[in-house]
Amino acid sequence: MNQPNQADPEPCPVARSAGIVADRWSLLIVRDAFDGVRRFSDFQRSLGIARNILSDRLHRLLDAGILAMQAGSGGGAHQQYVLTAKGRSLFPVVVALRQWGEHYLFGEGEAHSELVEKKTGKPLRAMLPLADDGHAISADETEVRKLGTAGAPQER
Amino acid sequence: MNQPNQADPEPCPVARSAGIVADRWSLLIVRDAFDGVRRFSDFQRSLGIARNILSDRLHRLLDAGILAMQAGSGGGAHQQYVLTAKGRSLFPVVVALRQWGEHYLFGEGEAHSELVEKKTGKPLRAMLPLADDGHAISADETEVRKLGTAGAPQER
DNA sequence: CAGTATCCCTCAAGATACTG
DNA sequence: CAGTATCTTGAGGGATACTG
């Protein structure tokens, strides 16, 4: 196994994020949560995921602080899974993934769901990385500066 | 198996993107590619991935049109794996993931690598989804409008 | 160096039955 | 309804040996 857990404290934020969220189901659970899905069975039906796996993933997301359990509103309410602030902060990730998919993964005639602003019904703007001064920046205008923890020398 | 291939044409762009890029290694390969890694062995060393798996993932990324092979510049040059336009368009995804990780996955004292603009050395701005008029928009101000292909009725 | 081929093992995942 | 427990399968992944 290679998955960094406690030991080997993965120094790259991308890798760390990926370790949490980049698996087959977690991201889709988060997506559903953004869409207002809150109950176990609704996730299950929406995703077509096995119940034991769903249970496992929900717990992982709870442990990661991305979801929280909350008593459902109303009388005979059930527990609900809701996004925490940390979870809601994944919105840019989900939107970026969506926009890339919309652009590159669908044929010309092929319809796909669309994310729009409720108030206006208009789709969002394309998300672009911006430099400090606010201008759109491409990958080759950037570089990764690594701050080693002053302990062991870094590989890259 | 549930992974949508040809049949079951996954209608959600997030799911389709996730199906391609959201696995343990592909995303990190893309990240490395953004960092200028181009050769098989360099990916291998950088990631600590088994060579057969790396080979498989590189081929998938080639098939997906995210990477392309290219003769290395210079005399006795080797083949190189470079990002295509489609691959470079994943930059927002990688940056969004990175920024989320930087913010939520590192302790206060814990150092992490940082993505900066080459020219100025300054870190990028936080990426935020923007509405059509350019103002930052939160998840609950949006909704997913699904365009069914006018064929079968949609579940959600 | 840049891979491919083979072997083996672990874990993710599905199916199903069961419990509060 | 909301899960947990158990079983089985198969894909993902590591190690290693081999080839152009």
CA of B63, closest CA in chain A: separation in Å?
13
Assess whether pLDDT exceeds 50 at residue B110: yes
Determine the Cα–Cα distance for residues A61 and A57; give it in Å rounded to an integer.
6
Lowest average pLDDT, out of A57-66, B92-101, B143-152, goes to B143-152
Q: Dmax of chain B from CA atoms? A: 58
Please give residues of chain A from 72 to 131 whose alpha-adjacent beta carbon (CB) lies under 7 Å from any atom of strand C.
none
Q: What is the average pLDDT across B57-73?
A: 91
Q: What is the mean pLDDT of chain B?
A: 87
Lowest average pLDDT, out of A63-67, B12-16, B70-74, goes to B70-74
State whether residue B107 is helix, strand or coil: coil
Contacts of B120 in chain A (CB under 8 A): 131-133
Check if B111 contacts A (Cβ < 8 Å): yes
Assess whether pLDDT exceeds 70 at residue A5: no
More confident residue, A106 or B151: A106
Protein CA B4 to sugar C1' D10 (Å): 17
3-state secondary structure A136-151: ECCHHHEEEECCCCCC
Lowest average pLDDT, out of A112-121, B7-16, B115-124, goes to B7-16
Assess whether pLDDT exceeds 50 at residue B36: yes
- Amino acid identity, residue B129? P
Lowest average pLDDT, out of A124-128, B67-71, B129-133, goes to B67-71
More confident residue, A155 or A132: A132
| Predicted pLDDT at A73 | 66
| Predicted pLDDT at B71 | 81
User: Tokens representing B135?
Assistant: 């103002």
Most B CBs within 10 A among A93, A114, A133, hence the mutation to make, goes to A93
Determine the Cα–Cα distance for residues B34 and A137; give it in Å rounded to an integer.
13
Burial class (CB within 10 angstroms; exposed 0-12, middle 13-18, buried 19+) of A30: buried
Protein CA B75 to sugar C1' D19 (Å): 24
Supply φ then ψ for residue B23, to 5 degrees: -130, 175
In A47-76, the residues whose Cβ lies within 8 Å of chain B are 48-49, 65
Cα-Cα-Cα-Cα dihedral of B26, B32, B36, B39, to 10°? -60
| Predicted pLDDT at A10 | 77
Q: Do A128 and B129 touch (CB under 8 A)?
A: no
